Amino acid sequence: MKTWFLNHSKVFRRTSQILSFLFLMSIPFLNKQGLDWFVGTLYSIDILGWTIADPAMILQMVLLGQPLLWTLVLAVSIPIILALIFGRIFCSWMCPYNFLAELLYKLRRFVFPRKIKRNKNPARNLQWVILSSIFLLIIVTGVPLIVFLSMPGLMTAEMTDIVFAGGLGLELLLVAGVLLLDTLIFKRVWCKYLCPVGLTLSLFKTPWTLKVTSQSTECAHCDAVKEHTCNQACPLDLNPRRPKHLYPSCYNCLDCVNSCHEHGGALDVSIGWPHKIKNTKKEIN
Amino acid sequence: MLLNLLQNLANIRHPLRPPGAVSEQEFNEKCIRCRKCEEVCPYDAIQMTDFSWSSKTGTPIITPKKVPCYLCDDLPCIDVCPTGALAPVKDRAEIAMGIAKIDESLCFAYNGILCRACYERCPVYGEAITLKDELYPVVHEDKCVGCGICESVCPVEPIAIIVESAHEVNS
């Protein structure tokens, strides 16, 4: 079952991304027709009457000095439970910004193939420094910055504004700017280092959370051709062979595990209590 | 600092908020820009502020000249608000979005032309706007809910009766 899933995870993921993209973008059109089964944006969304809110937005609200109502605790419970069990899968399986960025970055890679064969993982804790500076800035200035830094929020909100007000907002320029810089100039730094929505979800990562594990002893196939397929598969240019520095940047898209299954199977996923694996040799960098 | 400038820019104008809105400062901290009120408003009266509102970008605003608030019986905008930026009201008379102000130099009635447009269409009929001497409309601030229907029906150009947001009245 697990192997079957991992062998097909990429198809499932793309399907999930496309469906959630279409779903989110169609909400305002349905609302315009008077159908209110689904209401809202990725700041907060109502699905058949159940309210879901972005934990980053609610955290911001609390930091600005507003009380955390129990309805809001319920509203953030589903994203938080998902993050506790599966990590940042919202980013990789649902986020409309990541969907577009992935496609655009793929296009860039297609036109300008990469020369680097091995990816580097981000410096440790840099993301936490960035996230805490964002929240500190919010507390000090009182400006709700997450509103403008939440790309999925801005994209869905702009769709609503276009349908209801008919005008294009300048926020779209912000999204387009970030998207183009992120994919064509930089190498996906937004999702890896900067996005407060994804990083807030990362706060809920525990040792039991779904994660990619690696056993470098099984890498012979890729070592022989000196090109590790997991490094090529990663949409964020991370190195899944070094799981220690993978998180919180890795958003558990599982593309690396998917690609590895055809080449030796050194990568795997683990969820729940981390049990010792039979062969605990030191990882090769 | 740039961010403080943004805050100051945001406070120059006073947006007319949807029914049930809490005080402006609190509103900006509570509103998470989710657009639900915009999406459920059956008259499309609620729209969102654009980038010129700097840090208040993406918050709900009603422009009575375009579409006023028709004060739905069930007030779906309040119902759908997840954070309590739009707080529940007991009945419609409790709503205090703003207060209508009449410019007597522009108003037809005060200038000898018979007109009762605002008086006749006021949803708080006979209470928020009354006619002095059966002719001249007068707004009663304690009764006016600030829906802006009077502003939307005023035939004078420029409009003689304009709703000031509660935020503006209080500041």
Q: Is A33 on the interface with B (CB under 8 A)?
A: no
Looking at the complex, report in whole angstroms how far the Cα of residue B99 sits from the nearest Cα belonging to chain A.
25
Which residues in chain B land under pLDDT 50? none
| Partner-chain contact B57 A69, CB within 8 Å | no
Half-sphere exposure of A36 (CA within 13 A, CB side): 16
Cβ contacts of A60 on chain B, cutoff 8 Å: 32
pLDDT at A281: 46
Is residue B11 within 8 angstroms of chain A, CB to CB?
A: no
Average of pLDDT values for A56-64? 94
Structure token pair of residue B109: 């009635």
ipTM rounded to 2 decimals: 0.86
Helix/strand/coil percentages in chain A, nearest 5: 60, 5, 35
Unique residue bearing structure tokens 């294009």: A168
In chain B, the domains with their CATH numbers are: 2-80 (no CATH), 92-170 (3.30.70.20)
Nearest CA in chain A to B31: A61
Percent of chain A residues past pLDDT 70, beyond the cut:
95
Contact A65, A143 (CB under 8 A): no
Query: pLDDT band at A262, cuts 50/70/90?
Result: confident
Q: Which residue has the tokens 């654009």?
A: B50
Q: What tens digit of pLDDT does each residue of A95-130 get?
A: 999 999 999 999 998 998 877 778 888 888 899 999
The answer to whether B102 and B156 are in contact (CB under 8 A) is: no
Residue A170's pLDDT is 82
A277 pLDDT more than 70: no
Contact list in A for residue B51 (CB cut-off 8 A) is 169-171
pLDDT at A276 over 80: no
Q: Calculate helix-pair angle for A55-63, A126-141, nearest 10 degrees.
A: 50
**What does the pLDDT look like over A2-50, one tens digit per residue?**
888 888 899 999 999 999 999 999 999 999 888 889 999 999 999 998 9
**Any chain A CB within 8 A of the CB of B26?**
yes
Of A57, A148, A164, nearest to B32 by CB-CB distance is A57
Nearest CA in chain B to A70: B83
A167 touches chain B (CB under 8 A): yes
pLDDT for residue A280 is more than 50: no
Q: Using the beta-carbon criterion (under 8 Å), do A143 and B32 form an inter-chain contact? A: no
Contact between chains at B35 and A40 (C-beta distance less than 8 A): yes
Chain A residues in contact with B29 by the CB 8 A cut-off are 61, 64-66, 142, 144
Residue A282 DSSP symbol? P
Contact assignment for A36 to B35 by CB distance below 8 Å: no
Question: In chain B, what residues touch A43 (CB-CB under 8 Å)?
Answer: 32-35
Cα A47 to Cα A53: distance, rounded to the nearest angstrom: 11
Amino acid symbol at B71: L
Burial status of residue A99 (CB atoms within 10 A of its CB: 0-12, 13-18, 19 or more): buried
Tell me, yes or no, if B36 comes closer than 8 A to chain A by beta carbon.
yes
Neighbours of A177 (CB within 10 A): 10
- Mean pLDDT over A263-270 rounds to 81
How does pLDDT run across A46-58, given as a tens digit for each residue? 999 899 999 999 9
pLDDT, tens only, A182-226: 999 988 999 999 999 999 999 999 988 998 888 877 787 788 877
Which of B168, B7, B22 has its CA nearest to residue A66?
A: B22
Q: Does A44 touch chain B (CB under 8 A)?
A: yes
| Closest Cβ opposite residue B39 in set A54, A69, A160 | A160
Q: What is the pLDDT of residue A1?
A: 78
Inter-chain residue contact A160 with B35, CB threshold 8 Å: yes
For residue A61, which residues of chain B lie inside 8 Å, CB to CB? 29-30, 32, 83
Of A244 and A198, the structure prediction assigns the larger pLDDT to: A198
Q: What's the average model confidence in pLDDT over A244-270?
A: 86
Across all residues in chain A, what is the average pLDDT?
Answer: 88
Contact A111, A88 (CB under 8 A): no
* pLDDT band of A283, cuts 50, 70, 90: very low
Q: Which positions ≥6 away from A249 have C-beta within 8 Å?
A: A121, A122, A127, A191, A192, A193, A236, A238
Q: Which of B6, B24, B35, B41 to mutate to test the interface with A (most CBs of A within 10 A)?
A: B35
Structure tokens at A188: 């996906």
Q: How far is B110 from chain A (nearest CA, A)?
A: 36
Of B28, B47, B82, the CB nearest to A53: B82
DSSP state of B82: S
Q: Quick check: B34 and A45 CB within 8 A?
A: yes
CB nearest A31 (choices: B7, B40, B58): B40
pLDDT averaged over every residue in chain B: 90
78-107 in B: which are within 8 Å (CB) of A? Answer: 80, 82-84
Give the pLDDT score at A14: 95
CA distance B58 to B54: 9
